[in-house]
Structure 1
């Protein structure tokens, strides 16, 4: 039989529970007030230096033409083979050339150079190419630096409007396929064209017409992203005006968007007022890929500010700014923005038969020592820009560091041009960060390519086991 609890028993239990609760609260308050001993333990970490790998530099190859075969309008042919100069640092292992296969272009075998590491340090390797062509459909001078392949790069240059032609060159010097995705930025913002998704086989170069990526665009910008293996991207751009070839160039990639971009050496060879001067002779192209912002564009010459312009940038839409009628001379163009941008400057020797143009890509910051390959061409110079607040001492040594040295002082906010010899490799060492480019000027010839920093050693990694 079930018995009900008496009132006394129930009360006793209630009192006991109340006492226990009070004791628990009191204990908790006391524990919170007491300073308990603590023990901090730093996470275990190891500073590891990755094993050095071989140095790689891929070249764009010679100058190409599209549409010469009336029966196959999309066929691409090699017009002029390049002249190549390459070297490694003094006392470092020598580089070897490994031709790439270009399946779509007969007789075209662009080079890729490799150099083994020197002990525990990567070998500093540079190479550059140049070519001249004088034909009815293609004319001018082009020079380009052979660059290491990247997982992401930006091409600022070219057009697909009437009279313009462009070929995107994608080189994979690696041993595994590269899955490439190209995003084309234009007047309608970023687009993912069907032709922009492709595979570049190992040891090959793919050639993609720019018109297949950005149709009827006056100022396109391309973002090239690769997975599986990095690729080296270069754009060949050319112009034809009323059936007359108006120049050709091989456009170097920009490594990444930055809030500050510098184009060290923009050469103006024709004074304002010459025939065709109603057309812009010097233009800067800008893109803020992801964030709308305002950019300040400053043009300088001999350390003095020539002009300053502020322009609004809509996210994902390229913008072109006419830099005005600049007098004959050499200028540096500086871009500052709250948002990361990519930039390049277009300039031309004129608008008639036999004239040429060049795309001057923004130069990355260089610190310490690096090699500079000067390809064959007319009147080559190295322009060194100092964006800092203090003067920078630069040592330029011929023969990849084994020859005579020239000491140069680059004042704050200035650019210094140094005449150099064609088909020669120099070692540039700066006491502070600089931006530099190799430039060429001549009769109907204009070209430029930026100097990239050397990757002479793998950066240490902080590993947490």
Structure 2
């Protein structure tokens, strides 16, 4: 009802007489107040109705709205090449106490940037570790400080089994930076000896450089007999290193390399046979810019047969590896560099497990708080089948388990682990040589630690004086194609194929849905040395990340 209608319904009033004019104005003011009162009630009622409806109906769900992807300008890539084990033991003797002849030593550092188009890239340099600035100067080992079956050496510094101090590596002989130069549609450079350091390559053709580097060394005799190699890797915020031991006669040196321009802090956690171990120095380890920090684990967690190491870093991250060395009494037991495995997951795949009748093992860690069960399968050229005895293995929380591969026939395999909880995984294979010159009851041997990997190829390197085999595993239900240096190949469903690589030059392997690694071997005169080189990934292949901002 309109207010005007209310006013019209009022009774007509007689005009006031003189002296009574104030009474009329009092009556009019009284009806004005009534009108305002009724209007206020109406506003309150409408407002209450709106509030009631809002409270009884759910708020509309706001769907995220994504903008167009914004390209991030490509930056430079830096790969870190770790140190290889030391080469000689000056005091090495045979079983009769006679000095042994010096070993034959070969090694190299090779770096490359492959062309993505018909134009050769530019601006790539390899910087040896010792040329990047001042480094700690530990005392050089003397012949009297040579290793025995109960002492260890790391990067040329003598480390007794009870050493407790963190040991920095010795500086390399100072060299000028190695500028990579054009060679066969790539930039290429190498040192004839293994020189640890950093490969830095600038972006090219609007993408991150397709770069790769490796470091390798073979020693024919003595305590450090064997082949040790590593694909140089970019820094990571989290790394899991599955391998190594700190029992008597065993050495595992953690190498943390910082390729960035700022100090990076890291936390180190270690698991062993009985669970997670107390690591006194692990809470905060600072690695200066462009430096390597080496920590002998036997000085921190000695007497541990099976190791798994987790490194978490801040800032730009670290490139992490384990330098391992084994002695069987006075007999060389092998050298290897443990590379980072994929992060813990319920499924892990370890390619490149090449068996020749010697022993091997799969190493598993359940880092969770609950027990887990795991089943191990293998894939070779004939298909996929269970590993004998590898069904429903009990994995206690925090404990490291080694499961033997000794029951496998000679051949090339990938190992598949399926678990009820996320696990970390790796494997080790051995190559047995001739009778030991220091102990007629033993045989010399070498070993290779193999990491669990994700699918995808990358740059595979070609160390000199080694035999190279590319192992490719297809876990898909259909045949898959892959490319090596532009040539197309096919691998059947659920099989592993071996591709010999003849050329020493680096090559690009394109295999986005396949598991790929490279096995390298060399003749040491009394048997083979063995190690593995996983491909260096193409860092321009990445997924888009959306950031949803709300107020």
The equivalent residue for 1:323 is 405
Deviation at 1:294, TM superposition (A): 1.2
Q: Which runs of structure 2 are paired with 1:168-179 in the superposition (5 Å)?
A: 168-179=254-265
The equivalent residue for 1:332 is 414
Specify the SS of the correspondent of 2:506.
strand
Whether the aligned pair in 1 keeps the contact of 2:105 and 2:220 (CA below 8 Å) is no
Q: Which moved more, 1:50-59 or 1:262-271?
A: 262-271
Distance 2:49 2:410 in 1: 86
Q: Which runs of structure 2 are paired with 1:362-373 in the superposition (5 Å)?
A: 362-366=452-456, 370-373=458-461
Whether the aligned pair in 2 keeps the contact of 1:259 and 1:341 (CA below 8 Å) is yes
Deviation at 1:190, TM superposition (A): 2.2
- Determine if the alignment matches structure 1 residue 307 to structure 2 residue 386: yes
Structure with more of its chain in strand, by fraction? 1
Q: Which one of the candidate residues 337, 341, 347 is aligned to 2:423?
A: 341
Distance 1:452 1:62 in 2: 18
The equivalent residue for 1:434 is 514
Whether the aligned pair in 1 keeps the contact of 2:232 and 2:536 (CA below 8 Å) is no
Q: How many residues align?
A: 419
TM-score normalised according to structure 2 size = 0.69
The equivalent residue for 2:345 is 258
Deviation per residue, 1:1-34 (Å, 9 max, x gap): xxxxxxxxxxxxxxx9xx99xx799957995899
Whether the aligned pair in 1 keeps the contact of 2:362 and 2:404 (CA below 8 Å) is yes
Distance 2:223 2:460 in 1: 32
Seen in structure 2, the aligned counterparts of structure 1 residues 50 and 297 have a Cα distance that, compared at 3 Å, is same
- Determine if the alignment matches structure 1 residue 54 to structure 2 residue 72: no
The equivalent residue for 2:128 is 99
Distance 2:445 2:51 in 1: 87
Deviation per residue, 1:180-238 (Å, 9 max, x gap): 11100113422351232321111111111021342211111000111133111111111
Q: Which moved more, 1:87-96 or 1:240-249?
A: 87-96
Whether the aligned pair in 2 keeps the contact of 1:167 and 1:235 (CA below 8 Å) is yes
Q: Which moved more, 1:35-44 or 1:87-96?
A: 35-44
The equivalent residue for 1:88 is 113
Query: Whose Rg is larger?
Result: 2
Seen in structure 2, the aligned counterparts of structure 1 residues 302 and 61 have a Cα distance that, compared at 3 Å, is same
Deviation at 1:46, TM superposition (A): 5.0
Distance 1:450 1:283 in 2: 19
Distance 1:364 1:409 in 2: 19
Deviation per residue, 1:220-266 (Å, 9 max, x gap): 10001111331111111111112111111111111312222111111
Seen in structure 2, the aligned counterparts of structure 1 residues 462 and 331 have a Cα distance that, compared at 3 Å, is closer
The equivalent residue for 1:421 is 502
Specify the SS of the correspondent of 2:445.
coil
The equivalent residue for 1:8 is none
Deviation at 1:144, TM superposition (A): 1.1
Whether the aligned pair in 1 keeps the contact of 2:110 and 2:213 (CA below 8 Å) is yes
Specify the SS of the correspondent of 2:281.
helix
The equivalent residue for 1:74 is none
Specify the SS of the correspondent of 1:348.
strand
Deviation at 1:302, TM superposition (A): 1.3
Structure 2 gap ranges (5+): 1-37, 92-103, 137-167, 173-194, 434-441
Distance 1:33 1:159 in 2: 65
Q: Which runs of structure 2 are paired with 1:86-235 in the superposition (5 Å)?
A: 86-90=111-115, 91-101=120-130, 103=136, 104-108=168-172, 110-196=196-282, 197-235=284-322
Seen in structure 2, the aligned counterparts of structure 1 residues 31 and 249 have a Cα distance that, compared at 3 Å, is closer
Specify the SS of the correspondent of 2:423.
strand
Distance 1:26 1:138 in 2: 86
Distance 1:387 1:370 in 2: 19
Q: Which runs of structure 2 are paired with 1:235-314 in the superposition (5 Å)?
A: 235-270=322-357, 281-291=359-369, 292-305=371-384, 307-308=386-387, 309-310=390-391, 311-314=393-396
Higher RCO, 1 vs 2 (CA within 8 Å, ≥6 residues apart): 1
Structure 1 gap ranges (5+): 1-15, 70-78, 272-280, 398-404
Seen in structure 2, the aligned counterparts of structure 1 residues 30 and 331 have a Cα distance that, compared at 3 Å, is closer
Q: Which moved more, 1:38-47 or 1:154-163?
A: 38-47
The equivalent residue for 1:412 is 493
Seen in structure 2, the aligned counterparts of structure 1 residues 48 and 327 have a Cα distance that, compared at 3 Å, is same
TM-score normalised according to structure 1 size = 0.81
Seen in structure 2, the aligned counterparts of structure 1 residues 406 and 262 have a Cα distance that, compared at 3 Å, is same
Whether the aligned pair in 2 keeps the contact of 1:48 and 1:462 (CA below 8 Å) is no
Seen in structure 2, the aligned counterparts of structure 1 residues 212 and 377 have a Cα distance that, compared at 3 Å, is farther
Seen in structure 2, the aligned counterparts of structure 1 residues 287 and 42 have a Cα distance that, compared at 3 Å, is closer
Distance 1:245 1:37 in 2: 72
Distance 2:384 2:60 in 1: 60
